[in-house]
């Protein structure tokens, strides 16, 4: 079974703090993703990575950065947390696609509910 | 980027009834996937339908895809209390990304 783990289920941080959210997958997947989920807005892609040290911006990258030093680990960094970054953060991984006809399912971690006060 | 529109936003039915959720999207897709999310948890993949398929079944799930109308539906037959969750459609955008709809919150009443 694919397992995607996230470092914390719940996290409370203060405005201006630097925040690290860690995600680890155990299936040797090339692709990893960070989303945030807010009521009424669904899941929005923050960043994704298709290989070690490779990253691409998603739809809402502002205020975030990422790091992928090892294949199994993808970190999301909030350089200076703000209250509007209070949200549920979901990490996902997926095997590499073999062309457009084979876009495989994404496997999600349990999520980190971050509160910035 | 496109986003899926799901309808209804919330659905409440009695156990044993069928539940139907709809998803519409704006541009061409490679495939469309459905995910389930139990309260406060991550998403779990349910089923994938490719753009050249019209219908697909998996257990009590039936998914249809109408590319001419840019819409998909998810039918859950003989619903159970354990089906209570939020359901999301997700459109494959290129070879890498998925774009998710806003979700339908399904409640099954015993």
Per-residue pLDDT reduced to its tens digit, B21-71 = 999 999 888 889 999 999 888 999 999 999 899 999 999 999 999 999 999
Mean pLDDT of A85-105: 81
Give the number of other Cβ atoms within 10 Å of residue B100's Cβ: 24
Chain B interface test: which of A7, A57, A90, A106 (most B C-beta within 10 Å): A106
Return the higher-pLDDT residue of A39 and B107. Answer: B107
pLDDT tens, position by position, B77-93: 999 999 999 999 999 86
CB contact under 8 Å between B3 and A42, yes or no, is: yes
Reported as type and span, the H/E element at residue A114 is strand A112-116
H helix and E strand count, chain A:
0, 11
Q: Residues of A with CB below 8 A from B88's CB?
A: 42-43
Per-residue pLDDT tens digits for A14-28: 999 999 999 999 999
Residue percentage of chain A with pLDDT more than 90: 84
> d(Cα B4, Cα A113) in Å, to the nearest integer?
24
């Amino acid at each position: 079974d694919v397992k995607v783990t996230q470092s914390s289920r719940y996290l409370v941080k203060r405005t201006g703090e630097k925040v690290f959210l860690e995600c680890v997958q155990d299936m040797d997947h090339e692709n990893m993703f960070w989303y945030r989920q807010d009521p009424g807005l669904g899941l929005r892609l923050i960043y994704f990575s298709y290989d070690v040290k490779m990253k691409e911006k998603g739809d809402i990258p502002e205020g975030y950065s990422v790091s992928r030093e090892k294949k199994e680990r993808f970190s999301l960094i909030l350089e200076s947390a703000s209250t509007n970054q209070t949200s549920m953060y979901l990490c996902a991984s997926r095997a590499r696609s073999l062309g457009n006809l084979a876009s495989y399912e994404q496997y999600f971690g349990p999520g980190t509910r971050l509160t910035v006060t | 980027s496109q986003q899926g529109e799901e309808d209804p936003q919330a659905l409440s039915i009695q156990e044993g009834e069928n539940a139907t959720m709809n998803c519409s999207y704006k541009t061409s897709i490679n495939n469309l996937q459905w995910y389930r999310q139990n309260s406060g948890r991550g998403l779990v993949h349910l089923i994938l339908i490719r753009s050249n398929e019209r219908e697909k079944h998996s257990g009590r799930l039936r998914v249809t895809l109408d590319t001419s109308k840019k819409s998909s539906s998810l039918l859950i037959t003989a619903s159970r209390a354990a089906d209570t969750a939020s359901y999301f459609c997700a459109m494959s955008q290129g070879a890498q990304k998925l774009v998710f709809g806003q979700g339908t919150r399904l409640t099954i009443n015993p």
